[in-house]
A and B are shown apart, each in its own frame.
Chain A
Amino acid sequence: MHTLLEVESISKKFGDLSANVNITFSVSEGEILAVLGENGAGKTTLMNIIFGHYLPDSGSIKFKGSHIPFGNTKESINLGIGMVHQHFTLAENLSVLENIAIGNQSLLGLSIDFKKIEKKIINISDEFGLSVDPHAIVSDLSIGEKQRIEIIKTLYGDCKLVILDEPTASLTPQEVDQLFLIIKSMVKAGLGVIIISHKLDEILRISDRIIVLRNGELTGSMEKTNFNKTILAEMIVGKKIVRPIKKEGRKKEKLINIRALNVSPNIGSPMGLSDINFELFGGEIHGIAGVSGNGQRTFAEFLAGHIWPDSGDIFVSGNHVNKFTPEEFMNLGIAYIPEDRNSDGVVGELSILENGILTETRNPMIANQFGFLNRKRSKDFVSEICERNDVRFQSLNQPARLLSGGNIQKLLIGRWLKRNPQIIVACQPTRGLDEGAIASVQSLLLTERDRGRAVLFITEDLDELLLVSDVVSVMFDGKLIGPYPSEELEKREIGLMMTGGDVL
């Protein structure tokens, strides 16, 4: 096996933040190297340096024995380095063919030979088992299909080294299997593969060698023969992670009862809801799984009062609801943790103080009878939220966008808990958080459940779903399947239901 890529002492700083510190590693032909690490550990930065998106501050990179110039994507591609980005670099309104054609053309040409390109795409998809329709419009495709297009795009340019950035992030277990088969066929053809991930289990299955990054530093490497999950997990976070433990649940009275709910598409989120029947009990965490875009977000938004339904009945604590506004639902005791906390949860430019009282401007604790806010009492109010929920900050006056994702989430949840809600609707509350923050959000939800509150928990991460939930439903194509007790379910079965297959 020949060495393909040699990375030597690469360092990169963004302002004061050291994204990469003195990193050295290599990849050979026919080898799958995994780069593990938490969000913000510097994995993507490192790959962007290799691929030429970023300039490193120091260090050198050799490809097939010769130095590559930095900051020159074109040159990296020409040499045979291909990268599949985590956030796909596809133009949604254009066809598959057009998306692939763009990288392989001189811009000065008169016309594009689409026939020839289509032929080559079909050859590549036959060789590596990547089935796609070249004439489909990208926005109509599933996430798995989009990823296949990205892979074809890199293979199209005769690449020798493929970098996959978090390729399994939003795939179902079945799609992950398919992807791994494709990767296996790529290394069989002699390509080198670098796969970036924070999902330990998957990485152990596919890779030949693992390197671990933490806070920008290389903290260890391991060959396939010595793979050890516990040691790797500690290398990743630098300490032992304490997973929250789910105590025996005590199911209490019915708090939400939804009958035959229908929401037409494109109200709020693109996917509508059809014929949803749903019950939520106090002291219970009801998990909803699903590939993103199948209506979970619409359902959560409905329960937050953002969407007026077409038909259906909803009872909250026995009361029939017929006014669908956020205010109404807040008064009914529903707390809503939105999927996109940065755009729907906090106002990034406002201070932590202002964000902390944003929903509480009529709370007599901080506002007087004329509606004026008392600054001192506001401050105490927010300080208490931050203290109780372990929100870490420099100053209450700093803009909320400077907080980490985990701290923003804890601030949001803390603000809701001040209202003493009976029901918590949490839409992807741990997405994009690091392991420590994930564990604390999970245990927060479990605590509220143990105090008798009802929690609706929407997530794409099946491990987390099964860890936290008492019962599980699956959302597919706007319909709700279930509920099933979570002990009786396997990840694989949920994965099948997430893609429309029947199991139970």
Chain B
Amino acid sequence: MIVEFLELFINAGFWAATIRIACPLLLATLGELICERAGVLNLGIEGIMTAGAMVGWTAVYLGADLSSGIICAAFIGAMFGLIHAGFTVHLGASQHVTGIGITLLASSISYFAFRLILPTSTTPPKIQAFEQVSIPFFSDIPFLGPVFFQQTIFTYLAFLTVPIVIWFLNRSPFGLAVKMAGENPMALEAQGIDVLRVRTIAVMLGSSLMAVGGAYLTMSAFNAFYFGMINGRGWIAVALVIFAAWKPERAILGALLFAGLDAYQVRAQQLAGAIVPYQFFLMLPFLLSIAAMVFAAKSTRYPKALLVPFRRGERH
């Protein structure tokens, strides 16, 4: 019995699934990470992902091509990011309350719009989504081929985002300004840089990544839009940012870890059959995530100005 549970790990299908499941988490985590590095907690993430999933799917359903679908999702994400920044950055409202508000607003609008487009349908129609692309030569490598080189373009894109975000935060001037805004906004202000603008743009950028993460679900995984399909992935991403200690290179680790646990529990459920209730396996990834967080988050340096609104010309 135990051998069978262990054998799951040498199954290429398990590893390929891990990579797939990690993609939306990875994109959402990077999005949240950019927002938080700028000092703004974005709890709108769950709703923004829903909106991205819905808009990406709808665009393709109505005849757009796949890349336009991604762009539409990114755009709607940026718009919700703008609303979030408007309240939290410019008006200094509570980031928690505004974020929850954005989540409620964005997901409700998404479901409502979905019903408007498909008033009667019971089984959600599928779209022609991203297809698997086998990379010549590499995909023929045993085991590694099916795991890494037989994925969709969207999957490759999601992983390519990591080095781009690393470069953005560590090498680009705007990325440096984003980090400063999250550490000590006064440092930016003293250099004559508009903190509010930097934070707003960062939140919009981050939110568009979240929305693209949502769109991955409808355009490269399930190929259809369901109610409740984000299913807490946004909240997981918020936790993964802490696990990643606000570093993009560690986000990939966290996303893969959680995705691996998720992929494993599905397979373990089937193996265990009636012996162990399936709810136990559903719980596993969350339980282990909490354990991982406890260890990872112990000694992290969080952005000093996270959750602190900045007001110009106020006495400090």
Query: Which positions in A face B, CB cutoff 8 Å?
Result: 14, 52-55, 71-78, 83, 85, 87, 89-94, 98-99, 101-103, 105-112, 139
Most buried by A among B176, B187, B301, B316: B187
Which residues of chain B have C-beta atoms less than 8 A from A107's C-beta?
173-174, 177, 193, 198
| B105 interface residue (CB < 8 Å to A) | no
Residue pair B184, A91 in contact (C-beta under 8 Å): yes
- The complex places the Cα of A139 from the Cα of B304 at a distance, in Å, of 11
- The complex places the Cα of A93 from the Cα of B167 at a distance, in Å, of 18
Q: Known: A75-B192, A76-B192. Is A112-B171 also a contact (CB below 8 A)?
A: yes
Residue pair B183, A83 in contact (C-beta under 8 Å): no
Query: Which positions in B face A, CB cutoff 8 Å?
Result: 167, 171-174, 176-177, 179-180, 183-184, 186-193, 198, 301, 303-304, 313, 315-316
Q: Known: A54-B313, A87-B316. Is A103-B192 also a contact (CB below 8 A)?
A: yes
Residue pair B303, A93 in contact (C-beta under 8 Å): yes
Q: What is the distance, in angstroms, from B138's C-beta to the closest C-beta of chain A?
A: 30
Which residues of chain A have C-beta atoms less than 8 A from B171's C-beta?
111-112
- The complex places the Cα of A45 from the Cα of B85 at a distance, in Å, of 29
- The complex places the Cα of A85 from the Cα of B167 at a distance, in Å, of 31
Residue pair A102, B192 in contact (C-beta under 8 Å): no
Residue pair B192, A98 in contact (C-beta under 8 Å): no
Residue pair B187, A90 in contact (C-beta under 8 Å): yes
Residue pair A73, B190 in contact (C-beta under 8 Å): yes
Which residues of chain A have C-beta atoms less than 8 A from B190's C-beta?
73, 83, 85, 89, 103
Residue pair A102, B313 in contact (C-beta under 8 Å): no
Return 22 A-B CB contacts under 8 Å, by A number: A14-B315, A53-B189, A73-B189, A73-B190, A83-B190, A85-B186, A89-B186, A89-B190, A90-B184, A91-B179, A92-B184, A92-B304, A94-B180, A99-B187, A102-B191, A102-B193, A103-B191, A106-B173, A107-B198, A108-B174, A111-B171, A112-B173
Residue pair A94, B172 in contact (C-beta under 8 Å): no
- The complex places the Cα of A492 from the Cα of B142 at a distance, in Å, of 74
- The complex places the Cα of A73 from the Cα of B191 at a distance, in Å, of 7
Known: A93-B301, A98-B176; 15 extra A-B contacts, CB below 8 A, are: A73-B189, A73-B190, A73-B191, A90-B187, A91-B180, A93-B183, A94-B183, A102-B187, A102-B193, A103-B190, A103-B191, A106-B173, A109-B173, A111-B173, A112-B173
Q: What is the distance, in angstroms, from A154's C-beta to the closest C-beta of chain B?
A: 9
Q: Which of the residues A91, A110, A111 comes within 8 Å of B304, measured between beta carbons?
A: A91
Which residues of chain B have C-beta atoms less than 8 A from A103's C-beta?
190-193
Which residues of chain B have C-beta atoms less than 8 A from A74's C-beta?
192-193
- The complex places the Cα of A98 from the Cα of B315 at a distance, in Å, of 26
- The complex places the Cα of A77 from the Cα of B188 at a distance, in Å, of 12
Closest to A85 in B: B190
- The complex places the Cα of A107 from the Cα of B197 at a distance, in Å, of 11
- The complex places the Cα of A72 from the Cα of B304 at a distance, in Å, of 26
Closest to A114 in B: B171
Closest to B299 in A: A266
Q: Which of the residues A76, A83, A102, A108 comes within 8 Å of B180, measured between beta carbons?
A: A102
Which residues of chain B have C-beta atoms less than 8 A from A71's C-beta?
313
Q: What is the distance, in angstroms, from B112's C-beta to the closest C-beta of chain A?
A: 38
- The complex places the Cα of A74 from the Cα of B171 at a distance, in Å, of 23
Most buried by A among B172, B180, B184, B190: B190
- The complex places the Cα of A74 from the Cα of B188 at a distance, in Å, of 10
Which residues of chain B have C-beta atoms less than 8 A from A105's C-beta?
173, 176
- The complex places the Cα of A55 from the Cα of B171 at a distance, in Å, of 34
- The complex places the Cα of A71 from the Cα of B167 at a distance, in Å, of 33
Residue pair B187, A91 in contact (C-beta under 8 Å): yes
Closest to A105 in B: B173
Which residues of chain A have C-beta atoms less than 8 A from B198's C-beta?
107
- The complex places the Cα of A310 from the Cα of B180 at a distance, in Å, of 38
- The complex places the Cα of A85 from the Cα of B173 at a distance, in Å, of 23
Which residues of chain B have C-beta atoms less than 8 A from A101's C-beta?
173, 176
Which residues of chain B have C-beta atoms less than 8 A from A76's C-beta?
192
Closest to A45 in B: B315
Closest to B305 in A: A91
- The complex places the Cα of A87 from the Cα of B190 at a distance, in Å, of 11
Q: What is the distance, in angstroms, from B71's C-beta to the closest C-beta of chain A?
A: 21
- The complex places the Cα of A211 from the Cα of B192 at a distance, in Å, of 28
Q: What is the distance, in angstroms, from B39's C-beta to the closest C-beta of chain A?
A: 11
- The complex places the Cα of A353 from the Cα of B179 at a distance, in Å, of 43
Closest to A19 in B: B315
Residue pair A94, B192 in contact (C-beta under 8 Å): no
Closest to A110 in B: B172
Closest to A106 in B: B173
Which residues of chain A have C-beta atoms less than 8 A from B179's C-beta?
91, 94, 98
- The complex places the Cα of A438 from the Cα of B173 at a distance, in Å, of 46
Closest to A77 in B: B192
Residue pair B184, A112 in contact (C-beta under 8 Å): no
Which residues of chain B have C-beta atoms less than 8 A from A98's C-beta?
176, 179
Which residues of chain A have C-beta atoms less than 8 A from B177's C-beta?
102, 107
Shortest beta-carbon contacts, A-B, top 10: A74-B192, A91-B183, A103-B191, A105-B173, A73-B192, A89-B190, A89-B187, A111-B171, A89-B186, A91-B184
Residue pair B180, A111 in contact (C-beta under 8 Å): no
Closest to A53 in B: B313
Closest to A71 in B: B313
- The complex places the Cα of A102 from the Cα of B174 at a distance, in Å, of 9
Residue pair B173, A108 in contact (C-beta under 8 Å): yes
- The complex places the Cα of A78 from the Cα of B189 at a distance, in Å, of 14
Q: Known: A87-B316, A105-B173. Is A52-B180 also a contact (CB below 8 A)?
A: no
Closest to A154 in B: B190
Q: What is the distance, in angstroms, from B172's C-beta to the closest C-beta of chain A?
A: 6
- The complex places the Cα of A106 from the Cα of B193 at a distance, in Å, of 10
- The complex places the Cα of A390 from the Cα of B61 at a distance, in Å, of 76
Which residues of chain A have C-beta atoms less than 8 A from B313's C-beta?
53-55, 71
- The complex places the Cα of A213 from the Cα of B186 at a distance, in Å, of 26
Which residues of chain B have C-beta atoms less than 8 A from A110's C-beta?
172
Residue pair B189, A102 in contact (C-beta under 8 Å): no
- The complex places the Cα of A109 from the Cα of B303 at a distance, in Å, of 24
Q: Which of the residues A83, A89, A112 comes within 8 Å of B176, measured between beta carbons?
A: A112
Which residues of chain A have C-beta atoms less than 8 A from B173's C-beta?
101-102, 105-109, 111-112
Q: Known: A53-B189, A77-B192, A102-B193. Is A89-B184 also a contact (CB below 8 A)?
A: yes
Most buried by B among A74, A75, A77, A102: A102
- The complex places the Cα of A99 from the Cα of B316 at a distance, in Å, of 20
Which residues of chain A have C-beta atoms less than 8 A from B174's C-beta?
107-108
Which residues of chain A have C-beta atoms less than 8 A from B180's C-beta?
91, 94, 99, 102
- The complex places the Cα of A83 from the Cα of B315 at a distance, in Å, of 16
Which residues of chain B have C-beta atoms less than 8 A from A109's C-beta?
172-173
Residue pair B193, A87 in contact (C-beta under 8 Å): no
Most buried by A among B177, B184, B188, B304: B184
Q: What is the distance, in angstroms, from A82's C-beta to the closest C-beta of chain B?
A: 10
Q: What is the distance, in angstroms, from B188's C-beta to the closest C-beta of chain A?
A: 7
- The complex places the Cα of A8 from the Cα of B173 at a distance, in Å, of 37
Q: Which of the residues B191, B304, B315 comes within 8 Å of A93, measured between beta carbons?
A: B304
